[in-house]
Amino acid sequence: MVSVAGLAGIAAVLALLGRYVVPTLWRMYTSPLRLLPGPSSPSALWGFVKVLHAAEASVPQEQWVEQYGPTISFKLMFGIRRLWTVDTRALNHIIHHTAIYQKPMAARYHLSRVLGPGVLIAEDQQHKNQRHVLNPAFGPSQLKEITEIFTEKANQLRDLWMAEISKAGGGPTRVNGLSWMSRATLDIIGLAGQHIPLRRALDDPLTLPGAGFNYHFEGLNPSGQTNELSEALGVLFNQGGRAQLFGFLQGMLPPLRLIRTEHTRREAAALAVMQRIGRQLIAEKKAALLADAREKGRGVRRRDVADRDLLTLLIKANMATDIPESERLSDEEVLAQVPTFLVAGHETTSVATTWCLYQLTQSPDVQAKLREELLQVPTDSPSMDELNALPYLDMVVKETLRHHTPVPASGRVAMKDDVIPVNTPFTDKKGRTRDHIEIKKGDLLFIPIQSINRSKELWGEDAHEFKPDRWEHAMEKTSQVPGVWANQLTFLGGPHACIGYRFSVVETKALLFALVRAFEFELAVKTEEIKKKGDIVQRPVRVEDQKPDLPLLIKPYRAF
């Protein structure tokens, strides 16, 4: 006779099958993606997961596109197919129809667990409201104000590297470029709010519009010690292989989220630190705005608050009395923006700048030409306009972000049935020529950022080579790319394009300006000992131990 506990267990299994397994199997056998051309799966359970994990991001997919055409599908775990297309008309449709194509459940679970309902997670009207509030913090006039912070931190990093060289006796000195870049960019996003340099404070001791949170990470302190928020970020974004796999399964199967492991306990403690510090920053800003409002004898009003740093804009949208209720951000939404921009505001920029330094070690002619241009500038603290007026620096940054795309792809799920138009017709598995892609609700797809950025069809036969000079002349075919910046998909496009892309580009330029003027760079190991690795962001890792690192040899440039 079956016990009550046994019956309950059977019921739970049946519920799990009915809620998650059966719909998955139904989608496998009914999705129109199964009729698209593409490779045969090597595993019924894993699909191409192991193949893709072992390879550099996008490389297998690019090989399949060469073999099967620009629009394909392939299986991942549990036999679920993903659409992969490099057809620019199709991608334009996907990127701009954000009500139909949204982040998949698993991705939303992982990101929301760490970041909360911030602008990276939000969809539909919630996303529009948050973008409306945050946009002023990232406009050109804002960036002009905070470029000084970029150059100050870049020069601080330069001076610390000079000190490292002195300690080593003045000769070529080995540094971990990735670690130092991460520390510098984390400092910048933390301070790019109301940090006031001394000379600015003397002129205007009250305000400095910015885009950050007035939080001192002290990443560039000489001792190398980190604070509790830096350590919390490290816990949340440096998972091991098993933790990543279990996390993926939790995203796919919500009942697994009830299981607690050592990693989830450490994660919970790190999240508590982030939330405590976020609430502290918000409380301090609220108190300052309320104190100012009391002095004026009225409540906080949007039109009375002149500062445009992120935290001020967020608090204003939460508590100002003259904001319509439909535009007001909840306390949870305000809190969520703090980790969102601390993470998104430094990770991709630090990795992009690191890859640029790597590429300069592989292209000494580019390094010399760039340094020659930078040394013509008569100041070590250039303005945003001065940085943007340097044509070769601009070409090097564009080519780095094209060739070394920090985030290689972005996933989406169809929220309803749709038909995606294509530029290039394809033949499906039934032998029919199709001028569109049929999509059913629940179908999954990728936006192939890196593959578009190095497509030979768009960029020419040398698309996989690092050539900054390609930017000297307009490339007609790349105008088809639906990206927000430089005819590439690095910062995506459409309503969900990266809100801080200008911030990232100017910050990268400021870091390169200070470092390339001051140092000559060589790779401290053989080229084949470094490869790209990362599930979300592609970092350089050492082949021998798979640890994120870019070992550089630096020495002072003689003319600096």
CA distances from 205 to 142, 149, 197, 209, 296 (A): 18, 16, 10, 12, 19
Tell me the per-residue pLDDT of 172-183, one tens digit each, with 9 for 90 and over: 999 999 999 988
- Please give the Cα distance from 409 to 233 (Å, whole number): 22
- Please give the Cα distance from 438 to 188 (Å, whole number): 45
Q: Per-residue confidence at 556, pLDDT binned at 50, 70, 90?
A: very high
- Please give the Cα distance from 167 to 172 (Å, whole number): 11
Q: Per-residue confidence at 305, pLDDT binned at 50, 70, 90?
A: low
Tell me the per-residue pLDDT of 142-170, one tens digit each, with 9 for 90 and over: 888 889 999 999 999 999 999 999 999 98
Least confident range from 265-269, 295-299, 513-517: namely 295-299
Give the distance from CA 130 to its chain's centroid.
18
CA distances from 289 to 200, 305, 551 (A): 22, 8, 46
**Which percentage of the chain shows pLDDT scores above 70?**
82
| Contacts (Cβ under 8 Å, ≥6 apart) of 426 | 36, 37, 69, 70, 71, 433, 434
Strands 551-556 and 71-75: unpaired
Least confident range from 156-165, 264-273, 430-439, 468-477: namely 264-273
| DSSP-derived secondary structure letter, 33 | G
- 155 and 513 Cβ atoms separated by less than 8 Å: no
- 452 and 458 Cβ atoms separated by less than 8 Å: yes
- 551 and 172 Cβ atoms separated by less than 8 Å: no
CA distances from 495 to 119, 348, 453 (A): 11, 20, 20
Mean pLDDT of 225-254: 65
Q: Where are the domains of the chain?
A: 135-405+493-556
User: What 3-state DSSP class applies to 555?
Assistant: strand
The annotation status of 498 as a binding-site residue, yes or no, is: yes
- Domain 135-405+493-556: state its class: mainly alpha
